[in-house]
Amino acid sequence: MLPCTPADRNEIYEIINDAAMAYKNVIPADCWREPYMPGEELNLQIAQGVEFWCYKEDGVILGVMGIQDRGDVTLIRHAYVRTSVRNKRIGSKLLAHLIGMTSKPILIGTWAAAKWAIEFYQKRGFHLVSEEEKNRLLAKYWTIPKRQVETSVVLASSDWISTSKKWRPIDRLILAL
């Protein structure tokens, strides 16, 4: 795993927009755009503190994932693997590396309709938070449009759940079902 450099920007852009095609016809049509992440948006994300990490083989970037320090939590942002090399544990390796970089609780936002993404994070120990808590967290830690808030979920690491005053026992019961 290597931190991405400014020289990697075009490859990051390419990977994000290639991999994000999985969202087409899955997320609400009014939330879809091509390219999924325009270059200006990528530049803004980097300027706002998203640090991208690259998984490379033979000098070629196969996957990217961002990490963003937001004070009391760490966000995992923009996790994408080239379509041609999916299901080879690249995303798992990137996530494990980023988890190891922080001692803070981790939050991850994704589209509610992206069931494969939700399952990916749940298999790695993350838990869905309640709708009320999701709305609070998205407002506090992310800057996204209202429509995206309505159609997203947030997953939290176990350490966030164990320390959060907002985590209610009923949420734990729901997750156990």
For residue range 46-79, list pLDDT tens digits in order. Answer: 999 999 999 999 999 999 999 999 999 999 999 9
Query: Is the predicted pLDDT of residue 166 greater than 60, yes or no?
Result: no
Average pLDDT over the chain reads 92
Domains of the chain from N-terminus onward: 2-156 (3.40.630.30)
Using alpha carbons only, how large is the chain's radius of gyration in Å? 16
**Which amino acid, residue 84?**
S
Instruction: State mean pLDDT over 145-157.
Output: 96
**Which amino acid, residue 129?**
V
Q: What is the pTM of this model?
A: 0.91
Separation CA 71–CA 46 (nearest Å): 17
Separation CA 90–CA 105 (nearest Å): 22
Task: Identify the band that residue 133 occupies on the pLDDT scale cut at 50, 70 and 90.
Answer: very high
User: What is residue 46's predicted lDDT score, i.e. its pLDDT?
Assistant: 97
- 89-99: pLDDT as tens digits: 999 999 999 99
Separation CA 5–CA 12 (nearest Å): 10
Is 77:112 a contact under the CB 8 Å cutoff?
no
Contacts 24+ apart (CB under 8 A), 99-103: 99/157, 101/67, 101/74, 102/67, 102/69, 102/74
Instruction: State mean pLDDT over 32-48.
Output: 96
User: What is residue 170's predicted lDDT score, i.e. its pLDDT?
Assistant: 38
Comparing C-alpha atoms, which of 151, 162, 169 is closest to residue 106?
A: 162
User: What is residue 177's predicted lDDT score, i.e. its pLDDT?
Assistant: 44
Comparing C-alpha atoms, which of 76, 121, 78, 80 is closest to residue 98?
A: 76
Separation CA 9–CA 131 (nearest Å): 34
